[in-house]
Structure 1
Amino acid sequence: MVDVETFIPEAKAEIAEAIGDDNAVIALSGGVDSSTAAALAYDAIGDQLTPVYVDTGLMRKGETEQIRETFEYMDSLRIVDATDRFLDELEGVTDPEEKRHAIGEQFIREFETVAREVEADYLVQGTIYPDRIESEGTIKSHHNVGGLPDVVDFDGIVEPMRDLYKDEVREVARELDLEEIISERMPFPGPGLAVRIIGEVTAEKLEVAREANHVVEEELEEYEPWQALAAVIGKATGVKGDNRVHGWVVAVRSVESRDGMTARAQEIDWETLQRIQSRITGENDTVSRVVYDVTHKPPATIEYE
């Protein structure tokens, strides 16, 4: 486990030394990783830092409003609405790795645009150790590691938490007095809901995924999962009222883990699962059935793509 009293001053010193008298932007998603990195960098270089939250259209329900409220103390916070640009980039893309690379490249282009405006030469990221291991191996690319384009218009990328696991990041966040809604927040993938949609990302699928994920997070909060999610995995026949429908199939997944490298599917009681399926199918007429994923990691990954 990381010694936070040693790590925090060392991380701040590393950030300050790497950036010097220049400016930097930081990719702020609202998750514990990027939020902790932002807090470290803001303490280290103050007004030299511009936190950038990119609303990709792939975010959780109410995400943008929460980011605005939580980080309003950072005067230089930029919120960029890039929904249309991301969806345009993803149009027709069905391969999971192509999705991640498309999202990674578009993220970088958005950060480069802001960086030019504020004359920033450096990008700070909340990359952690499992991100690097999965991207350097053959599991999957992370949009902020293996998903980066070959040409990046920054003098350097600073990753102060590159050797930490998720539970260590939470320890750092608590020591920095970040709000509990941030420090204890369950992981959410950098590519957002795009990796919780099998096949092409469309506005219709996104709406189903966003609402279903909201239901799952609410209903499974008492189980304190490492991660709980809903994914749109295809279509199947169902019945709504007296009519046959060919609706979306939503897979619910809830896992326990220490660091995300391995995970075990949680045992959820039948009543809770029935309540989840009732809400998801009842609140969205286009969903025909809900299934529960009982697969551990390995052989599955936590996310679907």
Structure 2
Amino acid sequence: MLYNIHETKGGPMKDYINKTIEDIKRQVGNEQVLLGLSGGVDSAVCAALISKAIPNQLVCIFVDHGFMRKNEAKDVISVFGNKDLKLIAVDASERFLKKLEGVTDPEKKRKIIGAEFVEVFNDEALKLGRIKFLAQGTIRSDVVESGDGKSATIKSHHNVGGLPEKMGFTGLVEPLRALYKDQVREVGKLLGLPDSITQRQPFPGPGLAIRIIGDITKEKLDMLREADYIYREEIDKLKKKPDQYFAVLTNTRTVGVQKGERTYGYVLALRAVETVDFMKANYAQIPHSTLAKISERITEEVKGITRVVFDITGKPPATIEWE
């Protein structure tokens, strides 16, 4: 297995792990399981839990859709490209960008990305031969926000909706479906995953595509990637960090003055929240000196951004992500 998974100690999450391991063994038997690995908390913990239940039966496919944060695709391959784990990495960034050309509606973006992910995933899965089971890192908040029959649909989630019929799988393995984010992190820690994985900030499946308001272009992606990296770099210097923080490239353009010349660039929004379970959140009160430094760096170092604003909306009424 990828990580040295140690014996867990007492508590309800240990009981959950033990029960889930038995459930997976009973469901899967000697069959292989295929998992789409993003490197985020949910898919990583999902992989660790399944690997503990059925060693050497898990195959992971990492689809780089081109909407990841700076250096993230390289980091995923570096961390998970271990000889003990079969990892298949696919660069499909051009394919996804072409599909999203001219699309501005956030729900359409999510659905297109979800559908295209299935197509790319299926293309790779077919090369592997017959694998009966598909695994997903679906967690409880995904189900709630997508509508579970009891709650109104808030937004679509790319990994919620049942078994993809076109892919030919006969079983779906979702070991985290009953857990919220804080519980997923606890399970990951109990399974021996490092803090660099378990404490990683949530990152949506559609990635930066839903952190760009309006249409998506390579230029905008590069712009947001760099600005987000600067933002996270400065926040990481603080002793007390927000639970989640990221940049959003709005579709609004404003006049600015950079290097003595008039410019007309995009407005970048900074989002930072404090939360326990990610179902409710307050905006994080970041020191003004830090915000000033971030704004100064971004407007000086990232071409095309002329103004930086800070989002002070809680959840509810807003969701954490803008789209």
Given the two structures, how large is their TM-score scaled by the length of structure 1?
0.95
Q: What secondary structure is seen at the aligned counterpart in 1 of 2:55?
A: helix
Question: Relative to structure 2, which stretch is displaced further, 41-50 or 266-275?
Answer: 41-50
Is the Cα–Cα contact under 8 Å of residues 223 and 303 in structure 2 kept in the other structure? no
Equivalent AA in structure 1 for residue 177 of structure 2? R
2:279 aligns with 261
Q: Percent of counterpart pairs with the same letter?
A: 47
SS of equivalent to 1:46 = coil
Using the TM superposition, name which of 292-301 and 44-53 deviates more: 44-53
Q: State the AA in 2 paired with 1:292.
A: F
Contact preservation (8 Å) 2:243, 2:272: yes
Deviations, residues 255-281 of structure 1 (Å, cap 9, x unaligned): 011111111001111100011111111
CA spacing shift, 1:251–1:117, aligned 2, 3 Å? same
Q: Which residue of 1 aligns with 2:48?
A: 39
Deviation of the 1:199 alpha carbon: 0.8
Alignment map for 1:1-305 (pairs within 5 Å):
3-73=12-82, 74-118=84-128, 119-136=130-147, 137-146=152-161, 151-221=166-236, 222=238, 223-234=240-251, 235-305=253-323
The 1:104/1:147 distance shift into structure 2, 3 A limit, reads farther
Q: Report the residue type matching 2:283 in the other structure.
A: A
1:148 Cα shift? 8.4
Q: CA deviation at 1:21?
A: 2.8
Which whole-Å deviations, capped at 9, do the CAs of 1:126-178 have from their partners, x for residues lacking one? 11000000001321001111598775532222111001011101111111111
Q: State the distance in 2 between where 1:112 and 1:71 align.
A: 21
**Worse-superposed segment, 79-88 or 233-242:** 233-242
Find the residue that maps to 1:244 and give its secondary structure: strand
Q: What residue in structure 1 maps to residue 4 of structure 2?
A: none
User: Higher mean Cα deviation, 139-148 or 293-302?
Assistant: 139-148
In 1, the alpha carbon distance for the partners of 2:98 and 2:134 equals 25
Tell me: CA distance 1:99–1:148, structure 2 relative to 1, closer, same or farther (3 Å): farther
- Preserved CA contact (<8 Å) 1:108 1:148: no
SS in 2 for 1:237: strand
TM-score normalised by length of structure 2? 0.90
**Which segments of structure 1 move beyond 4 Å, counting only runs of 4 or more?**
146-152
Q: Point out where structure 1 has 5 or more consecutive residues left out of the alignment.
A: none
Q: Are the aligned partners of 2:58 and 2:85 in contact in 1 as well (CA < 8 Å)?
A: no
Distance in 2 between the 1:30 and 1:193 partners? 15
CA contact (8 A) 2:36 2:62 kept: yes
Pairwise CA distance, 1:226: 1.6
Shift of 1:233: 0.5
Q: Closer, same or farther in 2 for the Cα pair 1:196/1:282, shift >3 Å? A: same
- Helix, strand or coil for the counterpart of 1:77? strand
User: CA RMSD of the aligned region, Å?
Assistant: 1.7
More displaced stretch, 265-274 vs 105-114: 105-114
> Aligned partners of 1:218 and 1:153: how far apart in 2?
43
CA displacement, residues 105-130 of structure 1 (integer Å, 9 cap, x when unaligned): 11112221222222222210111000
> How far apart in 2 are the matches of 1:148 and 1:258?
30
* Pairs aligned (count): 304
Q: Matched residues in 2 for 1:139 and 1:148: separation?
A: 21
Aligned partners of 1:188 and 1:208: how far apart in 2?
18
What stretches of structure 2 of length at least 5 have no aligned partner? Answer: 1-10
For the Cα contact (< 8 Å) 1:215–1:276, is it kept in 2? yes
What do residues 32-82 of structure 1 show as CA deviations (whole Å, max 9, x unaligned)? Answer: 111000111122222221111111100011112211222233431111111
